A and B are shown apart, each in its own frame.
Chain A
Amino acid sequence: MNMAQARNGAMALTLLAALAACSNQGPDEGGTTPASVLARTVQQAISARTAEPAPAAAPKSAQERVAEALRVNPGPLIQVGFEGLGRTQILAMTGQNGAMRTYMTPAEEAVILRNGMLVGTKGLGRDLAVAEPGTEALIRAGQSGRGTRIMRYLGGDGLERPLQFDCTTGPGPNPGVITEDCAGHGVTFQNSYMVQGGQIPVSRQWVGPGLGYITVQTLRP
């Protein structure tokens, strides 16, 4: 491609990009074609290049963020560290069904817990659809023992697939901590729970092969 062709091509793409946005339709009502995806990508690339960098606000410290969240939200709050995603966020409870609580980030990604035990995640792309920990009673009672844990994942094909793990519970390195060592399908992982009166205020739990571990800390029960 010579320079003139390249310039023409770039102009055509810019023209397409400029055209991409006129409609009274919502994003769900069609009109997403390969051409419009291309145009939108070009548009984003152009605007990313021309955009001025936003003035950086002074980053808040972890304590400041926790204090602000506690002030703004009246309801239950947890802080979750997504180790696989490299971020820590504060999640507010958005619903409760029996003992099962749904917590969400401001971007509406959800972590679902049952009395502190991980049940599932939603909106993170490689979610845990549902966990069925056969070891739950042992963990809450602080007992050593064996059990089966089934973790179900929604595949790219729309099917929910279970992975089954054999797990052993036992006392952890620190007093008050119970660990759960699981193995199966060529992976091993270790969940740690701080158990207080049947509740689990602090834990580190494995979500799945895509997301790795999360750490959960209760800010307001």
Chain B
Amino acid sequence: MRRSRLTSQLMATTLPLAVLVGAGYAIADPMLARNMSSYGMPGGIDTPTAETLPEGTLGATISKSDYALRTNVVFQVLPQLTAALRYSRVEGISDFRDDGFIYDRSFDLRYQVVEQEGWRPAVSVGVQDFLGTGVYSGEYIVATRDITPRIRASAGLGWGTLAGKPRVIDATDEGGTANVENWFSGGAKPFASINMQVNDKLSVTAEYSNDVYRSSYRLRNGNLNTFQQGDKEPGNLNFGANYKFGRNYEVGAYVIGGETVGAQFTVALNPRESAYPSGLEKAPAPVRPRPARDADPEGWSGQWAQDPTAQPAIQKSLSDALAGEGQLLESMALSPTRAEVRIRNQRYVQQAQAIGRTARLMTRALPPSVETFVITSSADGVPASSVTLRRSDVERLENTEAGKIAAASALSDAPLRQGDLTMTEDLFPRFRWRVGPYLDLGLFDPEEPLRYEVGAEARASYEITPGLVLTGAIRQRAFGDKEQRGPGIPASENNGVRGDHYTAEEYLADPSLETTPEGVPRVRSDTRMYSGNTSPVIPELTLAWFARPTEQVYSRVTVGLLEQAYGGVSAEVLWKPANSPLAFGAEVNRVRKRDFDGLLDFRDYEVTTGHVSAYYEFSQGFTAQLDVGQYLAGDKGATVTLTREFENGWRVGAFATKTDLSAEEFGEGSFDKGITLSIPISWATGTPTRDRASTTIRSLSRDGGARLEVNDRLYDKVRDSQTVKLYQGWGSFWR
């Protein structure tokens, strides 16, 4: 066991009571944001401040005025680092679609360089809409300080939009890359805001802003086209008021330049604040201490092991008790002094909680001579780690500080030998089915911000032995607005007109369209061809085999219809010792593109895609992943992913992929990048379940840097019961 990591995970930090009471944004915390700006960041109305949000906060702000409708998602990545993703409908601008408005995505980062201390204000520096030159591109340095407990003032210098000097947008640029050479250039102007907290719910803001709400485009022919957003240029003074209600909500109204009125609504969730922090699941069974030696001499002597009926009876009762805790007892080895159980946790977000409850039940089920408990966590049939405990420690330390039992336990790779493990009777083969509704959402499409499809889904799995699983699903759409449609017609093929799409019929009729004019096979940009089937479709139909060739190496082979658009064979190996934060993996797939009817047929495109990967788990839940290899379109390159996972299971990540496709070959966005979000359902409902709500927000579905979406990749599967994640959640051991 790596003691240093363990100590750091368990090290008790004494937090203000407010964290436990869940008081939300306390006024007493000096530099936590009082309200969100219309850009969905801590700020005034249009101007930024140096405030931050509580670490880990995930929020969304919808802000509407005559200038724009902005949907903003904000995340406090680190105590100092704030990131926002914005999807705006900007009024008054016409692009090739000539709608009188455009949909525009933008991304901001802000870093608080110093906190407020003594006379010194907090100071932050930020970049707004910094991927490519965009409507809102600008940079700033801002200082914020509390003048009185109620009044807070901010002042800063802004460039670009914030200085009223919007950058000229190159209409021919594919966008998506940072134009660092433009940053903090073109002349700066000051801005300022002042906020007064009227009471704990209401705050009012006044600000001085230089934003002129104008955008300029350099057209293909060299002409400059300038638009006034909204109806008119605003003045410099803006006023607003914000009101908080409930634990997570805020509404606001503001006036821009004395004439344009706007309103906004914010919901902010803090992963550290849960309605039921310790969960509503039933209390665990109490530890049952062993009777004195002379009260049960046979049990203490180990004589019972001679009786061939002993193990089956013990295994049956332990298996039944574990089933009541949402655990499957896959197999068990029992000797007079040692018991190993292989459990599959199906209920608790924290593996430590499953292990703790198993240890409690073992004290109730096993004869007194058994002193060593080995609890092996099985990740859907693959043993991923073993925790070894002494029974006397479990008895001695029940309901004490969780760190004590952690120090008395040992984490190791699960033993490889299967010899004396006895499978629990009647568990395998295991058939599971479910018929229910599904809701499929498409978010942030440039032309339709929200698309949905609702229908019925039947899903079944047949697990022949642990680790060998046949899985299938069939869906029938009921209604929705995700219709079948071909990919966008390249402007070069359409007399320079952008924004038109092939119809499904046109696309089907001409196989040559499945390659872009630049010669890139359409591996993802025709994803919409798979939508809108009114007859049943098969989203997946696979046979997967998980194994562990050595103690520290895991393997997976999946064959069948792997995902919506591809079928074939996928094979993966992963080296991941239970006590190591470092892992290496390799994956190779031979796949063929599925037909658009979503059934069993294939199209002509076939490719080998695969990656070698390195993974590292840093402290505080950060995971970095690097994949290098060949992508679906045959392009070669690398993906960098950085994910933060909070102790309660919230995951927020960002990824970027660059391959040997040029920005022109890739198309709008220049390279593939996106954000992933995943929230455990139990966090919201309080009832224990391992299910999650997950989504990936990526720049357009493009063909470069696209990966196969095969289920059950090994890394996330085995990691729950291994050193970093196990000890992160160890506080739940006795829960």
Chain A contacts to B: CB under 8 angstroms = 12, 15-16, 19-39, 94-98, 100, 102, 104, 107-110, 112, 119-120, 122-127, 129-130, 132, 152-164, 185-187, 208-210
Contact = CB atoms under 8 A, between A and B. Distances in A.
Contact of A158 (B16, B648, B685): B648
Contacts of A29: 346, 432
Nearest to A32: B691
Pairs A-B, 7 closest by C-beta atoms:
A95-B286, A156-B274, A110-B283, A125-B276, A122-B283, A160-B731, A35-B439
A221 to B, nearest CB: 18
Given A20-B437, A109-B283, A127 B278 contact: yes
Interface string B250-284: 00000000000000000000011111111111111
B693 interface: yes
Contacts of A21: 436
Contacts of B282: 107-109, 122-123
B724 to A, nearest CB: 13
B433 A34 contact: no
A129 B734 contact: yes
Contact of B647 (A28, A37, A157): A157
A120 B401 CA distance: 11
B285 to A, nearest CB: 7
B666 to A, nearest CB: 32
Contacts of B646: 157
Interface string B422-435: 00000000011111
A125 B282 CA distance: 10
Contacts of B436: 19-23, 31, 35-36, 39
Interface in B161-202: none
B275 to A, nearest CB: 7
A34 B326 CA distance: 21
Given A107-B282, A123-B282, A129-B731, 10 more contacts: A25-B434, A34-B439, A36-B436, A37-B685, A39-B437, A95-B286, A122-B283, A130-B401, A156-B273, A161-B12
A161 B479 CA distance: 48
A19 B691 contact: no
Interface string B1-42: 000000000101111110111000000000000000000000
Most buried by A among B728, B730, B731: B731
B686 interface: yes
B454 interface: yes
A155 B272 contact: yes
Contacts of B479: 12
B388 interface: no
10 contacts: A23-B436, A102-B283, A122-B735, A156-B274, A156-B277, A158-B728, A160-B402, A164-B14, A185-B14, A186-B17
Contacts of A162: 12, 14, 401
Interface of B: 10, 12-17, 19-21, 271-289, 326, 346-347, 349-350, 352, 395, 398-403, 431-439, 454, 456, 459, 478-479, 646-648, 681, 683-686, 688-691, 693, 728-732, 734-735
Contacts of B431: 24
A119 B272 contact: no
A33 B439 contact: yes
Nearest to A161: B15
B115 to A, nearest CB: 22
A36 to B, nearest CB: 6
Given A104-B283, A152-B401, A32 B681 contact: yes
Contacts of A112: 399
Contacts of A185: 14, 16-17
Nearest to A16: B437
A162 B404 CA distance: 14
A159 B730 CA distance: 7
A200 B76 CA distance: 48
B689 A125 contact: no
Given A28-B690, A158-B729, A163 B14 contact: yes
Contact of A16 (B273, B277, B454): B454
Nearest to B621: A157
A174 to B, nearest CB: 30
B14 A97 contact: no
A81 B685 CA distance: 26
Contacts of B279: 123, 125
Contacts of A126: 276-278
A125 to B, nearest CB: 4
B14 to A, nearest CB: 6
Given A26-B346, A125-B276, A161-B14, A95 B285 contact: yes
Contacts of A104: 283
Contacts of B693: 33-34
Contacts of A94: 285-286
A33 B455 CA distance: 14
A157 B648 contact: yes
A98 B275 CA distance: 34
A29 B732 CA distance: 21
A97 B285 contact: no
Most buried by B among A36, A155, A186: A155
Contact of B19 (A109, A127, A129, A155): A155
Contacts of A12: 454, 478-479
Contact of A129 (B272, B278, B352, B691): B278
A107 B283 CA distance: 9
A19 B437 contact: yes
A33 B438 contact: yes
A125 B12 contact: no
Nearest to A34: B693
A164 B287 CA distance: 27
B17 A129 contact: no
B650 to A, nearest CB: 9
Most buried by B among A102, A152, A157: A157
Nearest to A187: B17
Contacts of A37: 681, 684-685
A110 B279 CA distance: 13
Given A19-B436, A98-B289, A161-B12, A209 B283 contact: no
Given A20-B436, A97-B289, A27 B731 contact: no
Contact of A97 (B287, B459, B686, B690): B287
A97 B397 CA distance: 10
A119 B454 contact: no
Contacts of B352: 158
A146 B199 CA distance: 39
Contacts of A16: 437, 454
Given A154-B731, A163-B14, A125 B275 contact: yes
A119 B400 CA distance: 9
Most buried by A among B13, B283, B346, B478: B283
A29 B278 CA distance: 22
A13 to B, nearest CB: 10
B350 A158 contact: yes
Most buried by A among B350, B436, B478: B436
B8 to A, nearest CB: 12
A153 B420 CA distance: 40
A162 B13 CA distance: 7
B441 to A, nearest CB: 9
Given A29-B346, A32-B689, A126-B276, A161 B13 contact: yes
A80 to B, nearest CB: 13
A110 B435 CA distance: 36
A15 to B, nearest CB: 7
Nearest to B280: A125
B676 to A, nearest CB: 16
Nearest to A93: B286
Contacts of A96: 286, 289
A12 B479 CA distance: 9
Contacts of B690: 28, 30
Contact of A130 (B399, B456, B459): B399
Contacts of B287: 95, 97
B55 to A, nearest CB: 11
A124 B276 CA distance: 8
